[in-house]
Amino acid sequence: MVTRQGEGTGVGARDFEPRLRVDDVTVTGRDVEMLRAIDRHGSMSAAADALGRSYPHLQRRVVELEEALGSLTTRVRGGEGGGGTELTPEARAVIRRFERLRIELAGVTATAESVFPGTVVERRGELATVETPAGELTARVPPGTTEVEVAVRADAVVLIDPDSTDRTHTSLRNQLPGTVTRVDREGTVANVTVDVGGGVAVESVITAESLARLDLAPGEAVVAAFKSTAARATGSEV
């Protein structure tokens, strides 16, 4: 079985580090942690102590971010506690943007990819026909490459009943007959592994409703299908 996790980012699902690029500054998880600490403790000095960082370094980083992003903190004076520091609406907006990016990347890195080693046998512009151990595939192939690896994300793979008449009326050009070898259901979704021959397995993420409709279980025949544009090839020549 040939699959991989998180290759879209080049790191494993648990190891990725999102980075939010805004103009000339890059906001990291460490920066968001700093802003949250300021918000929680009410001052930069208290935030520095809680995070185990030096106050001058923390203050300098806030200034660097504010030069690119605008005001992120505001000074609150007076009161029983002698005042402190609060986050501005701009800072909270940056935190929300970063968290949306984190969620998006978590989805990408957690999604398996099926990988087909193969050889380009025909080209038609950006698309090419690739001969793989599982049969011919049509994929997006960079120019100048012959020996390639074709990757397709599990959430781009559709499972079809082999006897369905819809197979000939679909834009899913790549259709690989195979046999279900594993089904892992998690709540409303299911991860299905399909052996398509040649030592290659295809991973698919489908809804629990589709799983029930297709009545899939290990040993059942099924067709793994995906669009040509969902299949991305990279050169495998050394």
What whole-number percentage of the chain has pLDDT above 70?
Answer: 83
Each residue's pLDDT tens digit, 145-165? 899 999 998 889 999 999 876
Indicate if the pLDDT at residue 13 is higher than 80.
Answer: no
Q: Report whether pLDDT(115) > 50.
A: yes
Assign domain 8-110 one CATH number from 1.10.10.10, 3.40.190.10, 1.10.730.10, 1.10.238.10. 1.10.10.10
Q: Is the pLDDT of residue 6 over 60?
A: no
pLDDT for residue 108 is more than 60: no
- What does the pLDDT read at residue 112? 78
Question: Is the pLDDT assigned to residue 14 strictly greater than 80?
Answer: no
Q: Rounded to two decimals, what is the model's pTM?
A: 0.55
Helix axes 55-69, 44-51, angle to 10 degrees: 120
**Mean pLDDT value across residues 7-25:** 55
pLDDT at 62 over 80: yes
Q: Say which CATH architecture domain 113-235 belongs to.
A: Beta Barrel (2.40)
Are the beta carbons of 23 and 68 closer than 8 angstroms? yes
Sorted by where each begins, the domain ranges of the chain are: 8-110, 113-235
Q: Higher confidence at residue 185 or residue 20? A: 185
Q: Is the pLDDT of residue 8 over 50?
A: no
Tell me what the mean pLDDT of segment 79-95 comes to: 81
Q: What is the mean pLDDT of the chain?
A: 83
237 vs 91, more confident: 91
Q: pLDDT at residue 47 above 50?
A: yes
